[in-house]
Structures are given as structure tokens and as C-alpha cells.
Amino acid sequence: MPTKQTQSNRSLFFSLASFALLLCALSIQPVQADDKQPSGHKIHFSITESENVGNDRVSITFSHVAQGATPQSVTEQINKRMKSAFAVLKRYPDIVAQTSQYNIYPVYQKQLISHWRGQQSLSIHFENRPQEMAVLDEIQPHLEYKSMQFSVSDTRRKEVLEQLTRKAIQTYRQRAQLIASEFANAKYQLLETHINTPNIPVARALYARAETAMASDMSAPNVAAGESKIQIQISGRLLLKE
């Protein structure tokens, strides 16, 4: 025969089990959303505003390829050319310079090392101004010209984007009013809006690299900076109320 204590424990167990089942049942009940989806005719639309902006930033890349009987002689040749180039850059405090791609490797003939070859690149970045562009002529006696890239500076890009954003928002609102008017519905609501500013492609001015013996005698190429298109797109959903 079960004791009173045993019966009491069983009753407590069944009570706790029932309570746990109740909690589980409550937890799986679907949550009712407080906000109802607005009713009416939903229309997706978008507008784009753009502006062509003169490139005011330029990046030029130079390099030097050296050959020698030993790695040390190649290193000395490269370092000497780079030192001369940086001596030129000291006269242009607004130019930002960066070196890269410094490597030295053996050249083989019939599975034997014939000689050593090495190269290093130098990139400079500055505002597109005539007085700064003169550096191209001054560096070419020391390093070989490789490529040139034009772009819009961050400061100018920010200014243009602010202007385009104001203009695009105004156009966007006017387009919403036009759509509602054409649907003969004066009551409308903008449900959502997305503002997108695509990346600006870099304008490149590339030239075939001449042989090392000729490159130092080459004159600087005549180039035009050109323009970059900056654009902003706004898209959204419009609700024509019933």
C-alpha cells in the first residue's frame, strides 16, 4: 500500500507535469502581429540623378628593372634609382608616394643561374594640377613610366554626392506625386525608400611599357584627365490608399 507521503509526491509530480505542458502549449501559439499590413495598391519605382565631374586626382606608377651578376648588384641598382626618384619628390611635398613589388630572382639558362633580375615599383598620388604633373618628366630619367589613373578626390566626391542627394530626394518625391496623380489617387504613402550610391569607376590612361633602354629617354605622354560620372539612385514602394 502506498503511503500518504508517496501519494502526495505523485500528486505534486502530476501537477508540475501538467503545468509544464501548459507552458509548452502557450509557447507554440502563433504570435499575432500588432501592426496590420496597409491595404491598397503598392507600386515599386525608382529614379536616378547623375553628374559628370572632372577628375581632380591622379595616380602614376613607375618601376625599374635591373639585372646583374649577383643579387647585391641588382639591389644596389634599384636602390640607387629609387633614391634619385625620392630626391625629386622632396620638391613636391603634396605628393604621396608608395613603393611596392620589390623582388629579386635568378634567371636560368640550361638549368644554371645565368644572372639575377629584380624590380621595384613606385606609385605617386596627387591633385591633378599642372605644377604637380611636371613630376612625371622629372622622375622618368630615373624610373620607367608604367601607367596613369585619374579619379575624383574624396572631398570633391562628397560635395557632389551631397548636392545629388538633395536633388534626387526632390525628384523622388515629385515622381511619387506624379504616379499618384496619374492613377487618379491623391491619397498615397511612401512605405519604404532605398538610397544607393554606386562606386565610381577609376579612369585609366594606360600605355605600353617600353624597353628599359628606351624608357628613360621617353617624354611624358600627353593625357587628358577626363570626367567620372557620379550618380545616386533612390528606389522605394508607394502605396495608393483605398
pLDDT digits (tens, 9 = 90+) for 128-145: 888 888 999 999 999 999
Q: Are 201 and 82 in contact (CB under 8 A)?
A: no
Return left, alpha or beta for 24; rule: phi > 0 is left, psi -120 to 50 is alpha, else beta: alpha
Helix locations, the chain, DSSP H: 4-27, 71-89, 130-133, 135-139, 154-182, 212-215
Per the prediction, the chain carries an average pLDDT of 82
Residue 132 vs residues 45, 58, 59, 227: alpha-carbon distances, Å: 46, 10, 11, 19
Q: Are 46 and 236 in contact (CB under 8 A)?
A: yes
Sheet containing strand 188-196, edge to edge, reads 40-54, 227-241, 188-196
Q: What's the pLDDT score for residue 15?
A: 53
**Which domains, ranges and CATH numbers included, belong to the chain?**
60-148+208-220 (3.30.70.2970)
Q: Give the span between the Cα atoms of 52 and 227, in whole angstroms.
A: 6
Q: What's the pLDDT score for residue 186?
A: 80
pLDDT bracket for residue 204 (50, 70, 90): low
Q: Give the span between the Cα atoms of 103 and 211, in whole angstroms.
A: 19
Return left, alpha or beta for 194; rule: phi > 0 is left, psi -120 to 50 is alpha, else beta: beta
Strands 188-196 and 112-127: unpaired
Burial class (CB in 10 A: 0-12, 13-18, 19+), 131: exposed
**Cell 647585391, residue?**
72
Q: How far apart are the first and last CA of the chain?
A: 74
Q: Using alpha carbons, select from 93, 141, 147, 152 the residue that is nearest to residue 122.
A: 147
pLDDT bracket for residue 1 (50, 70, 90): low
Q: Using alpha carbons, select from 194, 196, 195, 220 the residue that is nearest to residue 207.
A: 220
Q: What's the pLDDT score for residue 129?
A: 86
* Strand, helix or coil for residue 176: helix
Q: What's the pLDDT score for residue 40?
A: 86
Model pLDDT for residues 83-110, shown as the tens digit of each residue: 999 999 999 999 999 998 899 999 999 8
pLDDT bracket for residue 31 (50, 70, 90): very low
pLDDT bracket for residue 11 (50, 70, 90): low
Q: What's the pLDDT score for residue 35?
A: 56
DSSP 26: H
Model pLDDT for residues 39-76, shown as the tens digit of each residue: 789 999 999 999 999 999 999 999 999 999 999 999 99
Element (H, E) at 97: strand 96-109
pLDDT bracket for residue 157 (50, 70, 90): very high
